Amino acid sequence: MKIISDLHFHSRFSRAVSPQMNIPTISLWAQKKGIELVTTSDFTHPLWFRELQINLKETGEGIYSYKESDSNIKFLLTTEISCIYSKSGKGRRVHLLVFAPNLSVVEKFNKEMTLRGANLLSDGRPITGLTAKNILEIALSVSEDCLVIPAHAWTPHFSVFGANSGFDSLEECFEELTTNIKAVETGLSSDPAMNWRVQELKTRSLVSFSDAHSPAKMGREATIFDIPKITYQNIKKAISQEDKDCRIASTIEFYPEEGKYHFTGHRNCHIVFSPNEARKKGLICPVCGKRLTVGVMSRVEELARGDEAQTEIKKDSNSVLWIRNKDFDRPPYVMIVPLVEIISESFMKGVQSQAVQTMYERLISNFDNEFNILLKSDLEKIKETAGEKIAEGILKVRNGDIVIKPGYDGVFGKVRIWKEENLKKPIDEEITSQKMLF
């Protein structure tokens, strides 16, 4: 069976996260989005871990559910850890996802982290001076069933391949333990095709999750698993490619151009360079003379060393474009724009306006969940419920018929579903979600 999962976001105990990121609200929004399996998030934080113990019950084999709800939303234990340290004379800042098979293993992991000097109470995503390799060693020492996955692998400031503080290879980071790294998370500013260009990622699994800091952002990226039953071991097998009956079927992707580090630039000076422009003009800001933040696209090109991914695009019966690798068998992916952004642009109102929120809830009520609306629902029926403009917007997104001004240096890209000249007035800046929690 195929299930949609989002296994990376944060609880309210993480910095800059909505206070609404609690178990009841997470469960509610998972239903709205159409996500069947979500992360518990932040299991290292003592107060949040206590809430997990109180609110969740194990339904069997490492999978949990919310005690106060009869929904079918399942939870899996994962967390994110920030490693800040020096190696080979350079400062490193790497974020890692850690998956655990049960609460008992989490307790052991947390205890080991505390013994190594980590202040787990400081933040839901704790900052530690331990190396990325140290975290992998601790995880494997408490249970061989733990998984460690580099988070948002290309983000300039906090990732394994980050231009500012990462490494040029997984082996440089994890050394002799590299074979235990079975997957990387693509992050919002890259898509699978970009990752397929890098030799050591061609055979590793690529996972996509939202890294949401507020409920409405859940599911902006997701991974679809094809497994016989929802269990921790089946998820682990799918990610690790250990069993042909457990696999990653596909991923749902944010348009990478919309990610806030896609292009090279300097936001304070409003300088944005594509990879070609960065090669020609260099990495020094022509306005202030400081170094530009190297974008994910430029960093991928650097590590790809000229290798290109050969892709093909196929349209399914719902007019949705799926992107596949032509050279070798890898899970396909689809790119989406969140439903609220489509409604917002069609109404020419902010995403948090009453009109937009009312229409969003009406569509969810009529079509069950957001992924159904974006990828499966009949457009004529959507038109009957929401009007021609919104149905047209959903079709344009399914067809990839949109325009995006790429993001750079912490500024999210701006999506235009309808070309600027067809708009009666400029779209409210709130549409771009700049003012909303990450």
Cα-based distances in Å from 289 to 7, 273, 285, 296: 40, 15, 5, 21
pLDDT score of 426? 46
Q: Are residues 76 and 193 in the same domain?
A: yes
236 occurs within a structural domain: yes
Bigger pLDDT: 423 vs 80:
80
Backbone angle region of 77, left / alpha / beta, with phi > 0 → left and psi within -120 to 50 → alpha: beta
Q: Are residues 157 and 272 in the same domain?
A: no
Nearest of 114, 87, 98 to residue 7 by alpha carbon: 98
pLDDT score of 429? 41
Confidence of residue 425 (pLDDT cuts 50, 70, 90): very low
pLDDT score of 209? 98
Rounded to an integer, what distance in angstroms lies between the CA atom of residue 225 and that of residue 228?
10
Report residue 172 as tokens. 């440089």
Return the exposure string of 12-29: e unless at least 16 CB atoms fall within 10 Å of the residue's CB, then b.
bbbeebbeebbbebbbbb
Q: Are residues 36 and 74 in the same domain?
A: yes
Confidence of residue 437 (pLDDT cuts 50, 70, 90): low
Q: Are residues 244 and 271 in the same domain?
A: no
Over residues 364-369, the mean pLDDT reads: 97
Over residues 59-81, the mean pLDDT reads: 94
Q: Classify residue 208 by burial, with Cβ atoms within 10 Å: 0-12, 13-18, 19+.
A: buried
Question: What CATH number did the domain enclosing 44 receive?
Answer: 3.20.20.140
pLDDT score of 60? 85
Q: Is the pLDDT of residue 428 over 50?
A: no
Q: What is the mean pLDDT of the chain?
A: 94
Confidence of residue 69 (pLDDT cuts 50, 70, 90): confident
Q: Which amino acid is at 372?
A: N
Q: Are 80 and 127 in contact (CB under 8 A)?
A: no
Q: Is the pLDDT of residue 433 over 50?
A: no
pLDDT score of 435? 41
Q: Are residues 282 and 374 in the same domain?
A: no
280 occurs within a structural domain: yes
Q: What is the CA radius of gyration of the chain?
A: 21
399 occurs within a structural domain: yes
**Roughly what angle, to the nearest 10 degrees, separates helices 388-399 and 379-386?**
140
Q: Are residues 250 and 268 in the same domain?
A: no
Q: Are residues 249 and 282 in the same domain?
A: no
314 occurs within a structural domain: no
pLDDT score of 139? 98
Over residues 57-80, the mean pLDDT reads: 94
Cα-based distances in Å from 15 to 19, 42, 212, 302, 408: 10, 11, 12, 32, 22
Rounded to an integer, what distance in angstroms lies between the CA atom of residue 251 and that of residue 41?
20
Q: Are residues 226 and 211 in the same domain?
A: yes
Q: Classify residue 62 by burial, with Cβ atoms within 10 Å: 0-12, 13-18, 19+.
A: buried
Please give the tally of structural domains in the chain.
3
334 occurs within a structural domain: no
pLDDT single digits (tens) 333-353: 999 999 999 999 999 999 999
Rounded to an integer, what distance in angstroms lies between the CA atom of residue 51 and that of residue 363?
32
pLDDT score of 179? 98
pLDDT single digits (tens) 279-310: 999 999 999 999 999 999 999 999 998 888 89
Report residue 365 as tokens. 């009520």
95 occurs within a structural domain: yes
Q: Are residues 168 and 268 in the same domain?
A: no
355 occurs within a structural domain: yes
Over residues 380-391, the mean pLDDT reads: 97
Q: Are residues 251 and 278 in the same domain?
A: no
Range of the structural domain that residue 406 is part of: 339-432
Mark which of 258, 278, 294 sits at the end of a domain: 258
The share of the chain scoring above pLDDT 90, in percent, equals 93
Q: Are residues 227 and 268 in the same domain?
A: no
Over residues 40-65, the mean pLDDT reads: 96
Over residues 142-170, the mean pLDDT reads: 97
Q: Are 31 and 106 in contact (CB under 8 A)?
A: no
Q: Is the pLDDT of residue 424 over 90?
A: no
Rounded to an integer, what distance in angstroms lies between the CA atom of residue 273 and that of residue 276?
8
Q: Are residues 165 and 203 in the same domain?
A: yes
